[in-house]
Amino acid sequence: MKSALITAVAAFVLYLILTVGTGNILLWSSAEIIAGVFLSIVAGIFGRKLLFKNEDYRMLDPVRWLYFIAYLGPFLFAMAKANIDVAYRVITGRINPGIVKISPNLKTDFGITMLGNSITLTPGTLSVEIDEKTNDLYIHWINVKHKEPEIEEICNGFPKWIRRIAE
Amino acid sequence: MIDTVIYIFLAVGVFFNGLGSFGLIRFPDVYTRLHASTKCTTFGSIFTSLGVITYGFYHWHVDSASYGVLAIHAFIALLALVITNPTGAHAIARAAHRSGVYPKRAVVDKLKEKGDLSD
Amino acid sequence: MIETFFIVAIFLLIFMIFGVIRIVLGPTAPDRVVGLDTINTLVIAVMIILGAAYDEVIYIDVAIVYALLSFVGTLYIAKYLEGDLE
């Protein structure tokens, strides 16, 4: 019940953002608001198990959202560095690829998804496979330095951030 | 002044998009191509969209409110792109490895040593 | 300003040709999917640019839907390549 309500509110907020500037009640027309309420209730009922698995509400904590916004800074910096690195490799064609394994010790699905996406967008690494029993990540590394790498070498201290955001 | 900022955003975006597409031709196997295409086209599209968002918010201030709507929608499209692109790349890489395409010139392949995880 | 948006859109359309070349050449099926995925990303970028150039918000709405649907399409092709679809 609670999860359906929160999903419906989130869907309604997204609907309001998408239809901003259509009318006179604040910024929205009355038809859009009625349609939005109806559609977000339907979306909340059908999507109640997607956003909060097993009635787990830890992501509602605003401190986690603040950490997420703070995380965007180092993340965007690493992403810019990644692109300059790839630019160098596209122009020179100097690669030394391989697939390595790291164990980040994250427990939740959301955390491991976020780490996988962050790794894909940052320097020289691409997540290929997840071992769902132990949450180990297999990573394609474009410039292999060691065959048994440390976590810090590959993901720039992202696991520390993600443990604060998602665990 | 604001025009120069938009020009710089668009130029950086076009440069990185071009680099990603060029890497698609140049690299030898599917994983390195994914490196080039995912990172560079995502980054390039962030910058071209930032150009549009800056344009929208600036003209919202100066001309009419419909430009603000343009900027907000462009931001949501950008968000959808940034969330879905790396996930899609991960899906392609996993499918490639499971269907038996292994990296060329690889120094080490821990996943092949480990064996099949797909059960 | 409007002309610049059109020039950027033309450049991005030229880059799509690289994706098409990869789809035609690509020795394996995953290579072709990578080409398709790149083209999808570039199409979304072009739609956002053209939405600003023609001052039509509907182009950007279409870009949002296109982003989500092309993502689902990529996931399905990947699933098919893994051999999970019976």
Q: Are B35 and A87 in contact (CB under 8 A)?
A: no
Domain count for chain B, please give it. 1
CA distance A54 to A60: 14
Whether C30 sits inside 8 A of B81 (CB atoms) is no
Contact flag B105-A97 (C-beta cutoff 8 Å): yes
Q: For residue A98, which residues of chain B lie inside 8 Å, CB to CB? A: 103, 106-109
Q: Using CB atoms, which chains have 3+ pairs under 8 A with A?
A: B
User: Per the domain annotation, does B33 fall within a domain?
Assistant: yes
Among the ranges given (A24-28, A30-34, A36-40), the one the predictor scored with the smallest mean pLDDT: A24-28
Least Cα separation, residue B38 to chain C (angstroms): 7
The answer to whether the Cβ–Cβ distance between C34 and B20 falls below 8 Å is no
Position A41: which residue type? I
Q: Which 3-state string (H, E, C) describes A36-88?
A: HHHHHHHHHHHCHHHHCHHHCCHHHCHHHHHHHHHHHHHHHHHHHHHHHHHHH
Burial of A118 (0-12, 13-18, 19+ CB in 10 A): buried
Contacting residues of B for A10, CB less than 8 Å apart:
none
| B111 is a domain residue | no
Domain membership of residue B64 (yes or no) is yes
Please state, as a whole number, how many other Cβ atoms lie within 10 Å of the Cβ of residue B63: 10
A149 or B79, higher pLDDT: B79
Domain boundaries, chain A: 2-56, 60-166
* Domain region containing C53: 2-82
Contacts with A77 from chain B: Cβ below 8 Å: none
Total domain count for chain C? 1
How many C-alpha atoms does A92 have within 13 Å on its Cβ side? 9
The CA–CA distances, whole Å, from A125 to A128, A137, A142, C13 equal 9, 11, 6, 28
Range of the domain at B70: 2-100
pLDDT at A39: 92
Residue B115 placed within a domain: no
Say how far apart CA C75 and CA B87 lie, in whole Å.
9
pLDDT in tens, C24-72: 987 888 888 888 889 999 999 999 999 888 888 889 889 899 999 999 9
CB neighbour burial string for C49-78, b if at least 16 within 10 angstroms, e if fewer: bbbbbeeebebbbebbebbeebbeebbebb
- pLDDT at residue B119 greater than cutoff 60: no
pLDDT score of A83: 83
Instruction: Compute the nearest-CA separation of C36 from chain B (Å).
Output: 10
* Residue B79 placed within a domain: yes
Please name the helix (run of DSSP H) or strand (run of DSSP E) that holds residue B21, with its range, or none: helix B2-26
pLDDT digits (tens, 9 = 90+) for A93-148: 777 777 887 777 777 778 888 888 888 887 778 888 887 777 778 888 877 777 66
pTM over 0.80: yes
Helix (H) / strand (E) containing A6: helix A2-18
Percent of chain A with pLDDT over 70: 93
